[in-house]
Amino acid sequence: MKKIWFITGSSKGLGRKLVEVALLNGDQVVATAKGSSDLNDLKENYKEQILVVEMDVTNLDQIENAINSALKHFRRIDVLVNNAGFGITGASEAYTEDEVRRQLETNLYGAIAITRRIIPIMREQHSGRILQISSLGGRIGNAGLSIYHAAKFGLTGYSEAISKELKPLGIYVTSVEPGSMRTDWGGASMGFAKHIEGYEESVDKMISLRKDGKYIPSGDPVKAAKAIFDLSGNPEPPLHLILGSDAVGILKKANAARDAEFEKWIDISNSIDHDDSKKTHSQEVPKFI
């Protein structure tokens, strides 16, 4: 069965490649973007398969309009992909209030707003896939990207929670977590907060890495888009999908460090139970956890 996709951030990068893959496979796509003119070539080549809608994910009226247009045009939405996002590198104290708010509104609040408005549609259909394009940065924090990480950790946590709400309704949620990719995210699209002295050994190294052009991401956005497309049809999709060998290696190392730290401090962790509580770890845990 051909699917109807609703994809945000469709004009470039991974979003654009995913639109192309879906169209090439005969599916229909609602492609949303702030700069929809970048999709004119796809509108010309796939007239019957694509609906292009101008949408800023921070504008609730535009979100409502895009979803209503999608339903009017295609009658349903089978796959939601929250892909729109951007990053700014800098020390946490260096960001302006506007820079903090723009990152959170785009990378987190926008995705939540769109998801909450599409859930009722999928609930009525008794089916649907929600693919949140989070990041390895939704599992591991690094110097220089604190606000981006705040948004992506939030999106990953939100996705985990709603997956438990929605799975009994026939709606599956996956947090897609890529590592580095050869898109504009870390290049032309990357912003930088004002420079502050004192961060030479942490933030400044990250900034140099991004500005000097010597770091070449390993991830291929075309291959990533194909993997995400295949995921949409998998009958047992994962809650988390890591993409990229760099992300796999980094996550394994981080998980090992977390496990070691957890074990080192476990006596303290166990020490704060109330004296009249059961001294056992065999208490029944709710099945939804």
The active-site residue out of 134, 159, 175, 180 is 134
What is the bridge-based pairing of β-strands 240-243 and 191-192?
unpaired
3-state SS track over 43-90? HHHCCCCEEEEECCCCCHHHHHHHHHHHHHHHCCCCEEEECCCCCEEC
The active-site residue out of 46, 95, 109, 148 is 148
Active site residue 215: no
Active site residue 134: yes
The active-site residue out of 3, 17, 152, 180 is 152
Q: Are 56 and 31 in contact (CB under 8 A)?
A: no
Q: Does residue 20 sit in helix, strand or coil? A: helix
Active site residue 152: yes
Residues 6+ apart with CB under 8 A from 56: 34, 62
E strand or H helix at 6:
strand 4-7
To the nearest 10°, the Cα dihedral for 96, 98, 101, 104? -70
Q: Which residues does the annotation mark as catalytic?
A: 134, 148, 152
